[in-house]
Structure formats: C-alpha cells, structure tokens
C-alpha cells in the first residue's frame, strides 16, 4: 500500500534500470476529493476514507507545520531537514514538544487510535519511548515481565494500554519502543519458524565437552566415579546445535567402556570448547 501511495501520489525521484521511483506523498497530495474513491479502487478498503480524511485535516484544519512540530527535537534524524516553512522565531517561543503531547495530538486524526499514534510517534516522529501495544504485546508483558502480577484481566482498555506502555518504559527507559519491537517480532510464529529453518549451508563440527559425570558400573563388588571426556559430533544450523550422536569413552579398571547417552547430557555440561 505504501508503494501504491508513492507511485500514484508521490513526486517522481528518478528511474533506475527502467523502474521509476517516487517519494512519499505530502498530505496536500492526498487531500483531494477524488482520493478516497481512487484508493478504494487500488485496494485500500476502509483505510481509504481514513487516509483522505486525515490528509484533509492536516492540510486544511491544522496550521502549517503542525505535524512537523510534533517531532522529537532530541532526535537528530527527525530534525535534520527543517523544511516546514514555519517562522523559526515562533518555533523557539512555543513550548517544546513531548511524547505525550504528540501522542494525544495524533489521536485527533481520523481513524487513529492509541496503537497507530504510537507507531507514528516511534517510527515517524522520533519518540523512542513510544510503545505500540496490541494484544500480543499485552500477553508478552503478562507472560514474561510480571505485568498485572498474575491477574486475569480480559478487558484491554485505554487505561490498560497506557499501563502496559508505562510498565515497559520503567524497564527499558527512553529506548523502550525499539526494545518492544524486538520482542514483538521474536514472538511472531512466522518469524520463529523462519529462524528455525533459515536457509544456508549446514555445517558439521566437533564439539568437545569436558564434564564431570557420575558413571556407575559394577566392578569387584564396588562402585567408582570417574571423570569423562565427551566427544560430540553435532550439526549446527543457524546457531542451533543438534546432537546427532553422543558417545562417552572412559577407562575403568583398564577396560574400555562405551556408553550411549542422550543429547540431554549436553545440558549438564559445565564447560564447552569448540574445535574449529
């Protein structure tokens, strides 16, 4: 959809290898009366009305540079190019923007709820403490970060939304938004499956594990404990070690004893040395 917006409404940038590239359109380019119907024809569905209405509000109902004034002044990438056309004197005299003020201002736009407002704050306005919260993030907070102290609240209200964000901000501070994005991505089933089956060559390596195991066998009516050295041949794919065989050889009463164990022995090891 973003590509379609650029292609049909964004200014032309250039052509590379026969493909034309367009910049992202300005609110004014999306404020025309015919925009909603055209976007519906392009497959935007219910979003068409929200986009057209929001572009009209920003263009006609807000002062020039209103959206740009919501940017985080402490984020250099957001303020590197000041082309808002505003009176710089007026900007200096105005109250400095805050994340909370930017969030609440965005909620006034058509079709913009708390999550969308935080997505814009985080990815478009430079507010790194903004945390887009949905049911998945809520579940992560409850499951992994002791949010709610084991309560079984089923209603996800605006107050709950703010509480989840504040909970993560206390943990991660001013970069909480980006920390949350990593958690959100890692929690996606499709991402987990992709990481587990990532393409690439499967390489085999020998992992030598030195451990102290209790090996018990009957020798002259007694039991003895011996140190063992374990040689493991494993397949390593995308950083995941899968033991395919595990054989332990030790010398006990001058006799070679070969033991077959399970890969679970790996978890009991104390030190791991990798032979390259």
- pLDDT tens for the chain, 276 residues long, are 999 999 999 999 999 999 999 999 999 999 999 999 999 999 999 999 999 999 999 999 999 999 999 999 988 766 545 544 444 444 544 678 899 999 999 999 999 999 999 999 999 999 999 999 988 888 888 888 888 775 656 677 888 899 999 999 999 999 999 998 888 888 777 666 666 666 554 444 444 444 444 444 334 444 444 444 444 343 433 343 333 333 333 333 333 333 344 444 444 434 444 444
d(CA 70, CA 89): 17
Angle at 83 between CA 53 and CA 79, to 5 degrees: 95
Cβ atoms 27, 58 nearer than 8 A: yes
The radius of gyration computed from the CA coordinates of the chain, to the nearest angstrom, equals 29
Cβ atoms 5, 24 nearer than 8 A: yes
Our answer to whether residue 92 is catalytic in this structure is no
- Measured CA to CA in angstroms, residue 203 lies from 101, 242, 264 at distances of 53, 11, 21
d(CA 247, CA 261): 7
How far does Cα 117 stand from its chain's mean position? 17
Catalytic residue among 115, 154, 189, 201: 115
pTM of the model: 0.61
Phi, psi dihedrals of residue 13, rounded to the nearest 5°? -105, -50
């Amino acid at each position: 959809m973003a590509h379609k917006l650029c292609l049909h409404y964004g200014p032309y940038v250039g052509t590379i290898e026969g493909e034309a590239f367009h910049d992202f359109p300005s609110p004014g380019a999306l404020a025309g009366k015919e925009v909603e119907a055209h976007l519906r024809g392009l497959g935007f569905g219910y979003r068409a009305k929200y986009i057209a209405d929001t572009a009209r509000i920003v263009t006609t109902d807000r002062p020039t540079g209103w959206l740009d004034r919501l940017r985080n002044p402490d984020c250099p990438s957001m303020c590197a190019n000041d082309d808002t056309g505003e009176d710089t004197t007026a900007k200096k005299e105005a109250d400095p923007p805050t994340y909370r003020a930017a969030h609440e201002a965005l909620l006034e736009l058509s079709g913009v709820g708390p999550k969308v407002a935080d997505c814009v704050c985080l990815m478009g306005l430079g507010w790194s403490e903004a945390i887009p919260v949905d049911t998945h993030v809520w579940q992560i907070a409850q499951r992994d970060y002791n949010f709610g102290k084991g309560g079984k609240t089923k209603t996800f209200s605006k107050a709950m939304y703010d509480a989840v964000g504040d909970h993560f901000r206390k943990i991660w501070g001013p970069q909480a938004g980006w920390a949350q994005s990593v958690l959100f991505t890692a929690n996606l089933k499709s991402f987990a499956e992709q990481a587990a089956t990532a393409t690439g060559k499967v390489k085999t390596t020998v992992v030598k594990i030195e451990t102290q195991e209790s090996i018990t066998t009957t020798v002259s009516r007694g039991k003895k404990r011996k140190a063992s050295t374990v040689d493991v041949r494993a397949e390593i794919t995308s950083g995941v070690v899968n033991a395919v065989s595990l054989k332990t050889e030790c010398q006990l009463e001058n006799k070679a004893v070969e033991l077959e164990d399970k890969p679970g022995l790996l978890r009991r090891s104390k030190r791991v040395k990798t032979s390259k």
